[in-house]
Amino acid sequence: MRVLVVEDEPDLLRVVATTLREDGYAVDTAADGEDALFKAKAWEYDAVVLDVMLPKLDGWAVLQKLREVKHTPVLMLTARDTVQDRVRGLNSGADDYVVKPFSLTELLARLRALIRRSAGQSTAVIEIGEVCVNTLTKVVTRQDELVALTPMEYALVELLVLHRQQMVSRTTIYDHLFDEEDDSFSNLVDVHVSNIRKKLGRDFITTRRGQGYMIEG
Ligand code: CA
C-alpha cells in the first residue's frame, strides 16, 4: 500500500515515514500544501496522512482541492481536539483524523482501518479458499499453517486480496507498492508472483497476459 505523508515539521515527518515503511508501506512525503496537492493528484495513493497547519496551502485547502478531483482516503492530523475541527474535518470530506500529539500505534491502526474500509472490506480477516489473510497482524496462513512471506510478497498479496475478483494491472501494482525513492524494476513483480504461488498455491493468483493479475476466489 502506498501512502503520502504531509507534514512540515521535519522530525515528525521522518518518524512517521520511517514507522510506516517499517510497517510495509511505500511512503512518499511532502512538507507543504502545494507539493502535497501536486503529488496527491499525480498518484493513486491508498491513503493520504495530512497535517492541518502547513505552509503555502493549509491542510483544509489541500483536502478541498483534492476532493474536487478524487476520493483518495484522507486521514487528517489536527492540532486541537475541538468540536469545530471535528465538524470541519468531516464536512470537508476527511475520512478520519487523529489529534496531535498522537501515538504511532494509533496512527497505524487508524490508517489500516481506513484503507480496508475504502477498499470495501468490512472485516480484517479475509479468507480465499484455504488461504487466510489477516490484514491487522499481517499474518497469512494456508490450511491453518503459518506462511512466511517477505514484506513485498505480503504487500502484493494484500493489494490483490483487497481488490479480489478485480483485474489489477501491472501499472496499478507499481503505483501502490513502490514509492518515489524506489527504483526497483518491473520484472520483479513476476518474481514475487512466482514466489507467492509456490507458498500459497498455483491457482491463488491468476495471470491475464497483457492485463495483469487477479485473485478470483
Ligand atoms: Ca504542521
Q: Give the pLDDT score at 175.
A: 86
Residues 89, 64: contact at Cβ < 8 Å?
Answer: no
Q: Find, among 180, 157, 160, 158, the residue nearest to 169 by Cα.
A: 160
Name the amino acid, one letter, at 51: D
What's the rounded Cα separation, in Å, for the pair 1 and 51? Answer: 20
Ligand 1 centroid to residue 188 C-alpha, Å: 37
Distance CA 154, CA 160 (A): 10
C-alpha cell at 25: 508501506
Report residue 161 CA to chain centroid gap.
13
79-106 pLDDT tens trace: 766 667 666 766 778 888 888 889 999 9
pLDDT at 177 over 90: no
Q: What is the pLDDT of residue 92?
A: 75
Decide if 5 contacts 28 (C-beta within 8 A): yes
For 109, residues 6+ apart whose C-beta sits below 8 A from its C-beta are none
Q: In angstroms, what is the span from residue 115 Cα to ligand 1's centroid?
A: 23
CA–centroid distance, 8 to ligand 1, in Å, is: 5
How many beta carbons lie within 10 A of that of residue 95, not counting itself? 21
In angstroms, what is the span from residue 7 Cα to ligand 1's centroid? Answer: 5
Query: Which of 150, 168, 151 is closest to 159 using CA atoms?
Result: 168
Q: Which domains does the chain have, with CATH numbers?
A: 2-118 (3.40.50.2300), 125-214 (1.10.10.10)
pTM, two decimal places: 0.84
Please tell me the distance between residue 128's alpha carbon and the centre of ligand 1 in angstroms: 42
Q: What number is the average pLDDT over the span 150-165?
A: 92
Q: What does the pLDDT read at residue 185?
A: 58
- Sign of the C-alpha dihedral, residues 71, 136, 102, 56? negative
